[in-house]
Amino acid sequence: MLRTTSKRYRIGVLAAFLGLAGCGDLLDVEAPGRIADENLNNPNALDALVEGMSADLTDAYDQMVYISPIAAGELFHSGSYSITDEAQGILKAEDSNGEFNLMQQARWVAEHGVERLRANLSAERFQRSPLVARAYIYGAIANRLSGEMLCSTTIDGGPEVPHTVHFERADSLATLAITHGTAAGMEDVVTAAHGVRASARAWLGDWAAAVDDAQQVPTDFVWVVPFGTGTAPGLDLYFETFDRFEFSVINTMFEPNDGEDPRTPWAPVILANGDTATGANGATLVFQQLKYTSEGDDVAATKGTEMLLLRAEAQLEMNGAAGIPEAYTLMNQARAFYGMDPLPMAATLEEAWDDLHYERSATVWLEARHLWDARRWFEKGPSDPGFFDFMEGRDTCFPIGEEERRSNPNLG
C-alpha cells in the first residue's frame, strides 16, 4: 500500500560520523553516504554512536505515535492518506514494513552498539560510562516498544518467536541500565530503567516484581523520547493534526470529556465563519489533539503517573475486589498530580476495571502504549471483569513485515 506521510529524515548524526572519518580533503571522500564499519571502532565516535541509538529510537517512536493511535482508537482518521485499513483495525504484513523495520533497527543498533562500546572502552570505563548506561536504556525501551506493538517477532534473522521475547530482553537490558547507571551516577537513567522494567515484568506476568520497580519512580518523573532538537526529527503527529487535519479526536473514548481532561486535551478547530473545520477527507469534523502543539514536543517513554496506574492495575490483577480501595488510592494520586478531583470508589470489580481502563488510557494517551493495553485487556476474554471490548473484530498488533518475511530464510 502506498503511504503518503510527512516523515523528515535526519542527516545530523550521519554528518557527525562522516566528520570523524577525516582522512584528507573532503573532496577525496568516496561514497559519502556510507560509513566504513571500522571507522566506528574509534573512541572519538562513541558519543555519535549513542546519539545514533537515540535517533533511531526517535524514528521508531515517531512512526508508532503516528500510526498506532489510529489502530487503537485513540484518534479517528479524518484525512486523505491511504491508511484506511489501519483505521478499520486491519493490520497487514505488506503495510507493516515501516513499523517493523524501524522498531527492529532501534533495537539492533542499541544492542549491537553496546558491544562496540565494550570493544572500545576498558573494563573499568565500560562499567561506569554514561554512554553505556544510555545505550542500555535505549535498548530496553526499543524492546518494550516492539513487544507491545508486534504480534510475533524475529531476532537478527532468526526464526519466528513470540513477541514476549522483547519483554524478556527489555527486562535484562533495563537491569543492566540500572547497574551501569548507578555506577555512572546517572539517577535519571536508573529511574527510567525501573519504569521500563516495571512494565516489562508486568507484561510477563510478574506483577509483584513490577510493583517493586514502579515504586522506585517518583510521581513527577518523566523520561522522554526527544523530538525536534539537535539531530532529532520533528514529531509527525503534530504535523498531521495541525497542518493537514488527518486525525481527529471525534468518535473516540476521549471525545465525551470535551477536551477538559488535562491528560487528553483537545478542541474543535473553528473557522472564521464559526463552523468547525473538516479534515482532509472533507467530511469529518476536526477535534484537534492539543497534547503536542509543536513538532519539537517530546514523547514520554515512562513516567511516574503511569507507574501509579500500573500499581493500581496490579491491585486489581492480583487481589481482585479486595484490591479496589488501594487501586483507587493510587488512581487518585495520579489524578491529583494533574489537578483533577478524585474518583469515587467503585462498588464492583467490573466498575473498577472500567475506571482503570480509562485512567491508564488517558495517562498514556498518544504515547504509543494504548494499542498494547487494549490488546491485553481484550485477550482476557468476556468472562473476565477486566475485559476491554473495543478490539472486537480488529487486529490487535502489527505482524512481521512482508519485507522481513521475504528476506529472512528462517521465516515461512
CA atoms within 13 Å, Cβ hemisphere of 289? 34
Residue 307 lies in a domain: yes
State the pLDDT at residue 154.
98
The identity of residue 149, as a single letter, is: M
Regarding whether 297 and 322 lie in a shared domain, the answer is: no
Confidence of residue 28 (pLDDT cuts 50, 70, 90): very low
Q: Which residue has the cell 467490573?
A: 350
Regarding whether 86 and 114 lie in a shared domain, the answer is: yes
Residue 113 lies in a domain: yes
**412 or 405, higher pLDDT:** 405
Residue 266 lies in a domain: yes
Residue 280 lies in a domain: yes
Regarding whether 76 and 204 lie in a shared domain, the answer is: yes
Regarding whether 147 and 31 lie in a shared domain, the answer is: no
Rg (CA), the chain: 22
Percent above pLDDT 90 for the chain: 85
Question: Range of 364's domain?
Answer: 302-390
Regarding whether 99 and 32 lie in a shared domain, the answer is: no
Regarding whether 297 and 309 lie in a shared domain, the answer is: no
- 38 has a pLDDT exceeding 60: no
End residue of a domain, out of 284, 301, 318: 301
Residue 404 lies in a domain: no
Residue 45 lies in a domain: no
Regarding whether 337 and 217 lie in a shared domain, the answer is: no
Of 42-56, 362-376, 390-404, which gets the smallest average pLDDT? 42-56
Quick one: DSSP state of residue 44? G
- Considering only CA atoms, which of 90, 28, 31, 98 is closest in space to residue 60? 98
Number of domains, the chain: 3
Q: How far apart are CA 279 and CA 205, in angstroms?
A: 41
State the pLDDT at residue 23.
38
- Considering only CA atoms, which of 319, 314, 326, 361 is closest in space to residue 206? 314
Regarding whether 226 and 342 lie in a shared domain, the answer is: no
Regarding whether 339 and 291 lie in a shared domain, the answer is: no
Q: What is the mean pLDDT of residues 366-382?
A: 98
Regarding whether 307 and 285 lie in a shared domain, the answer is: no
Regarding whether 156 and 131 lie in a shared domain, the answer is: yes
Regarding whether 354 and 223 lie in a shared domain, the answer is: no
Confidence of residue 81 (pLDDT cuts 50, 70, 90): confident
End residue of a domain, out of 301, 327, 350: 301
Quick one: DSSP state of residue 400? P
The identity of residue 27, as a single letter, is: L
The pLDDT mean for the chain works out to: 90
Q: Which residues pair with residue 223 across a beta bridge?
A: 302
Ramachandran assignment for 373, one of left (phi > 0), alpha (psi -120 to 50 degrees), beta (any other): alpha
Confidence of residue 375 (pLDDT cuts 50, 70, 90): very high
Q: Which three cell numbers stand for residue 142?
A: 526499543
- Considering only CA atoms, which of 312, 389, 371 is closest in space to residue 345? 312
First to last CA, the chain: 22
Q: What is the mean pLDDT of residues 54-60?
A: 96
- Considering only CA atoms, which of 37, 30, 129 is closest in space to residue 17? 37
Of 25-39, 109-123, 233-247, 252-266, which gets the smallest average pLDDT? 25-39
- 17 has a pLDDT exceeding 50: no
State the pLDDT at residue 75.
97
Residue 402: C-alpha distances to residues 213, 397, 411 (Å):
37, 15, 10
